[in-house]
Structure 1
Amino acid sequence: MSRPQFDPSTYAAQLAEKKARLVELLAPFAAPEPQVFESPREHYRLRAEFRLWREDGTRHYAMFEAGDKYTPIFFDDFPIASLQINALMPKLKAAWQASEALSFKLFQVEFLTTLSGDALITLCYHRPLDAAWQLAAEQLAAELQVNIVGRSRGKRLVIGKDFVEEELQVAGRRFRYRQPEGAFTQPNGEVNQKMLGWAYEVLGPRDDDLLELYCGNGNFTLPLATRVRKVLATEISKSSVNAALANLADNGADNVSLVRLSAEELTEALNEVRPFRRLAGIDLKSYQFGSVFVDPPRAGMDPDTCELTRRFERILYISCNPETLAANIAQLSDTHQVTRCALFDQFPYTHHMESGVLLERR
């Protein structure tokens, strides 16, 4: 199998197709023309994951077509990945070729980098990690000036930190983020900054409070918290909650309360269906919510959560799946109308897109 084609000359055409698709999906709701936020044509992806495939006595970086685990596509570089990942790839390959301690039963490599220059490499093994591996990994981390995480069944060894540190700029202010190994982070840093700036501008300065569902590591929480009186944010993933708490503390965001609740559980709490010990010390009745911000998974909001958002004057919605976004808007369209719309090209050269809408009460 040949290497996939990478052709930046096709970028404008594929972006136009995405815009047309989004316009078509939102046409039933009389949505305005979307703002379009482009991606860099190459070196935009801050994360990359490769399987390793042994051939002619050498392990190679490899990927596979969906549904085919036996026909590798080899890579020496990866044009869509960050320049930092491309610089690290040959150095890491040379290191495992020179070290049995690093290469023995190594089957997967993951890179995580940031716009601010931090990097973490995860090495995955089909064997226990021993003292020889740790010594070799420590030497490699020092040589490459990266953090390294070694993973084997039931064990994880960390050389340096198990997270990278990012700095993103929104409306002239810099926000610092810890992004943990193994947790979700936005893969396209440049477009992520554009998404944050759009959400910040669309929310506008408010004198009331914000409810945020699916807050993740606090990616949107930090800039949006500067626009409102206070924020109640929810997230169910324990690793994301821990990262968000650290990010709130690092940025001095003292007007945010974060609770580990699912959107469904928060709905029950707000409807006073049952109490939650995780809400101890938080007076829900003290909030004057004017807006809700949601960034749900690909499945979108479930019907009950969608009904919860209906009670707010303003719904700011970031979506990674325009089909489920349209379905959620259909449920809300009798009480809310789309007044702002945007397309964020997080994933160039694929059919995937990120979009955003502001819905305001009719």
Structure 2
Amino acid sequence: MSRSQFDPARYAAQLAEKKARLVELLAPFTAPEPEVFESPREHYRLRAEFRLWREDGNRHYAMFAAGDKHTPIFFDDFPIASARINALMPRLKAAWQASATLSFKLFQVEFLTTLSGEALITLCYHRPLDAAWQAEAEKLAADLQVNIVGRSRGKRIVIGKDYVEEQLQVAGRSYRYRQPEGAFTQPNGEVNQKMLGWAHEVLGERDDDLLELYCGNGNFTLPLASRVRKVLATEISKSSVNAALANLEDNGVDNVSLVRLSAEELTEALNEVRPFRRLAGIDLKSYEFGSVFVDPPRAGMDPDTCELTRRFERILYISCNPETLAANIAQLSDTHQVTRCALFDQFPYTHHMEAGVLLSRR
């Protein structure tokens, strides 16, 4: 998103355009009116990544327009980023300006913050990191009261922790989430809470089991587990699986089994195409699945996974790409109908949006 797109005065109009687009995409399926969940107008983004551009003897925070890697756009502040990131930006810049050890061959800075106030800064270098760098980074971490990760080719040095811990409120309960450096997390914490609350409410109190595909770090797993007898959750990313397991333990959630399988592999397992050693100790036949929850990547569900979801009474689907969501619904529309839908404005001032639908068997 460019600075020129940031225009809080136009926020309501932009959100209305997104709603109209979602309504148009879901119109062939006679979907009900979408519930709309707004974003804060500024300071909503908990992550930010900047390249550093050297000019006039110093390095500046920079981004680039799509398709142009040669014309930097400099930033001294970033109003869509969290207040914590904006407070840290000038202090970090002053630190590398004052230290040749910190600034030498520094080419990228990444910020990861939380609603609860924690911060982690990743500093990326085109040179080896040594003891002198680590000593300077330790002083910087103490001064800024942050965690720091230093990255160079083949090396990673952690000062403090390599994750932040978020706290999110869902249906009157607080959940704690470890969010590792480098792993995917929802960027808009306030809207993420609204998504979790909506999914929790829409799933309802069930007396059967839930299958969750693409569970990530357990973002949805934790609150949804409180609504069902037990959960079988899958995720392919090793770092996300490790974070999810830690989050389940930290929150005392004991009715979830998590397996490191892709959605395609789980489809094969449930269809008894072949066995998987990673499912050792899990009796798939013991589950009484009534619902499936999916939060796939932008490409949506592949046709086989889409067919797998057809066997469930309820399909709760969160999508970061309404076009592929509509394509998946089209495949399922002969057996399932959209009974609830929602728009979550995770990315204000862009064309991107998150959408949620509940598909119920006809």
TM band (smaller chain): over 0.9
Q: Could you tell me whether the CA contact under 8 Å between 1:3 and 1:74 is conserved in 2?
A: no
Residue 7 of structure 1: how far off its partner (Å): 1.2
Residue 67 of structure 1: how far off its partner (Å): 1.0
Residue 71 of structure 1 is matched in structure 2 by 71
CA RMSD of aligned residues (A): 1.0
Residue 4 of structure 1: how far off its partner (Å): 3.0
Q: Could you tell me whether the CA contact under 8 Å between 1:119 and 1:164 is conserved in 2?
A: yes
Residue 232 of structure 1 is matched in structure 2 by 232
Aligned with 2:341: secondary structure? Answer: strand
Aligned structure 1 segments of 4 or more residues deviating by more than 6 angstroms: none
Residue 149 of structure 1: how far off its partner (Å): 0.2
Distance across 2 between alignment mates of 1:311 and 1:110: 42
Residue 17 of structure 1 is matched in structure 2 by 17
Residue 3 of structure 1: how far off its partner (Å): 4.9
Query: Deviation per CA, 1:298-343, whole angstroms, max 9, x where unpaired?
Result: 0000000000000000000000000000000000000000000000
Residue 250 of structure 1: how far off its partner (Å): 0.3
**1:171 and 2:171 are equivalent in the alignment:** yes
Residue 115 of structure 1: how far off its partner (Å): 0.2
Distance across 1 between alignment mates of 2:323 and 2:97: 46
Residue 224 of structure 1: how far off its partner (Å): 0.1
Residue 6 of structure 1: how far off its partner (Å): 2.0
State the TM-score, normalized to the length of structure 1.
0.99
Q: Could you tell me whether the CA contact under 8 Å between 1:218 and 1:244 is conserved in 2?
A: yes
Q: Could you tell me whether the CA contact under 8 Å between 1:209 and 1:229 is conserved in 2?
A: yes
Aligned with 1:217: secondary structure? Answer: coil
Aligned with 1:347: secondary structure? Answer: coil
Q: Could you tell me whether the CA contact under 8 Å between 1:150 and 1:157 is conserved in 2?
A: yes
Query: Deviation per CA, 1:7-48, whole angstroms, max 9, x where unpaired?
Result: 100000000000000000000000000000000000000000
Residue 114 of structure 1 is matched in structure 2 by 114
Distance across 1 between alignment mates of 2:355 and 2:3: 30
Distance across 1 between alignment mates of 2:98 and 2:130: 18
Residue 357 of structure 1: how far off its partner (Å): 0.1
Query: Deviation per CA, 1:183-236, whole angstroms, max 9, x where unpaired?
Result: 000000000000000000000000000000000000000000000000000000
Distance across 1 between alignment mates of 2:339 and 2:250: 34
Structure 1 residues 271 and 3, CA gap change in structure 2 (3 angstroms): closer
Q: Could you tell me whether the CA contact under 8 Å between 2:212 and 2:293 is conserved in 1?
A: yes
Q: Could you tell me whether the CA contact under 8 Å between 2:2 and 2:65 is conserved in 1?
A: no
Structure 1 residues 332 and 5, CA gap change in structure 2 (3 angstroms): closer
Distance across 2 between alignment mates of 1:102 and 1:62: 18
Aligned with 1:4: secondary structure? Answer: helix
Residue 5 of structure 1: how far off its partner (Å): 4.4
Residue ranges of structure 2 left out of the alignment (5+ in a row): none
Aligned with 2:347: secondary structure? Answer: coil
Residue ranges of structure 1 left out of the alignment (5+ in a row): none
Residue 153 of structure 2 is matched in structure 1 by 153
Structure 1 residues 5 and 338, CA gap change in structure 2 (3 angstroms): closer
Query: Deviation per CA, 1:80-105, whole angstroms, max 9, x where unpaired?
Result: 00000000000000000000110000
